[in-house]
Amino acid sequence: MSKKTAVVICPGRGTYQKNEFGCLKPFYDSALLNQIDRVRAQLGLETVSALDSADKYLPARHQLPVNNAALIYAAGLCQFNAINPDEYEVVAVTGNSMGWYTALSCAGVWDVDSGTEIMSAMAGLTANCKGINGDTGGQLIYPVLNEHWQPDATRLAAVAAALNIPGMYRSIQYGGYAVLSGTTPAVKQALAQLPPVDERFPMQLAGHSAFHSPLMQDASDQALARFSAEYFNQPKLPLIDGQGHIWPDLPVNPELLRYYTFQSQVSSDYDFKTAVQVAVREFAPDQLILLGPGTALGGAVAQSLIEINWHCLSCKADFTALQASDSPFLLQL
């Protein structure tokens, strides 16, 4: 039986919530998780194992950026490490938002020690940066597709109008959702201005600063000053970044990869939709493997595929039928 080819996709911020509490149990005492824990302990931070195995899920503890990021990173990396190489040939890896850091570790650009150190540092830097005049702003999410996962002209126009608010920026193109970042006044105005959808949206993302926007420039500056190109090894797998650019598993300029990682993707928008579309078009995998924690990636990935009519997908019903078939395209770990 031949191997299936797969592109692996790593989730971003906010994917470890109460429902994911305890999801790392299969990896307790594994060499990989123990190594992540050792680095965290050396940094004076709570270990991932202690957080995930605590008696109770506490938002103030588990949603603390430097802890939540570690839980997401560890879950993704442990799941990646557990992919059966006899069953799947991983041909590329990508991620959404902070999932880029997990992707870099999956591709071997960072070893476990460096990846854990940098991921923990970036969580703290982006949560506590100076922002603009001390304002680190916020993020909101808004759907731009209808219930069939097809473009909604009214919602698209509403997002375009919101982006004209001073201090508001496009943050992430997340499948059928627009994630916007901005100053606190800009986010407040956008929340009031965007037409309500499904009694849920527009939704401000709790605990999120204005990620992937100019408000993060201070975090970018500190990261560039702290982490040299020596932290970056050559990729062992092709990487697709948040601009849809492919970093091949060939010699790459580590300084350019460092600049993208700590400058471009920190202080400008992250186009996850294009990353997914480039992944399937350029690598034509048999399956997409979505790492955890959680299952939030599935909808955004499917919507990205529908936009380019991948596998003749044109709407939500088509995707649902594909996933219910004997050959589902998305595999959620």
- What is the band of 126 on the pLDDT scale with cuts at 50, 70, 90? very high
pLDDT in tens, 260-274: 999 999 999 999 999
What is the spatial distance between Cα 35 and Cα 37, in angstroms, rounded to a whole number?
5
Cis peptide before 143 (omega within 30 of 0): no
pLDDT of residue 2: 86
Q: How many CA atoms lie within 13 A of 249 on its CB side?
A: 10
Residue 83 has pLDDT above 70, yes or no: yes
Residues 61 and 67 sit within 8 Å (Cβ to Cβ): yes
Domains 4-130+217-332 and 138-208 share a fold: no
Residue 123 has pLDDT above 80, yes or no: yes
DSSP track, 263-309: IIHHHS-B-HHHHHHHHHHHH--SEEEEP-SSSTHHHHHHHHHHHTT
Region 156-175: what's the mean pLDDT?
98
Residues 226 and 101 sit within 8 Å (Cβ to Cβ): no
What is the spatial distance between Cα 304 and Cα 312, in angstroms, rounded to a whole number?
13
Residues 239 and 247 sit within 8 Å (Cβ to Cβ): yes
| CATH number 2.40.128.130 is the correct assignment for the domain at 4-130+217-332 | no
Residue 207 has pLDDT above 90, yes or no: no
Tell me the domain boundaries of the chain. 4-130+217-332, 138-208
pLDDT in tens, 24-41: 999 999 999 999 999 999
For residue 285, the Cα-to-chain-centroid distance in whole angstroms is 20
- What is the band of 178 on the pLDDT scale with cuts at 50, 70, 90? very high
Where is 156: in which H helix or E strand? helix 153-162
Residue 289, strand partner residues: 8, 331
Mean pLDDT of the chain: 97
Percent of the chain with pLDDT over 70: 100
What is the spatial distance between Cα 64 and Cα 135, in angstroms, rounded to a whole number?
18
Region 165-184: what's the mean pLDDT?
98
Residue 325 has pLDDT above 70, yes or no: yes
Residues 95 and 80 sit within 8 Å (Cβ to Cβ): no
Residues 310 and 280 sit within 8 Å (Cβ to Cβ): yes
CATH number of 138-208: 3.30.70
pLDDT of residue 1: 62
Neighbours of 218 (CB within 10 A): 18
Cis peptide before 202 (omega within 30 of 0): yes
The candidate with the shortest Cα–Cα distance to 108, out of 261, 238, 292, is: 238
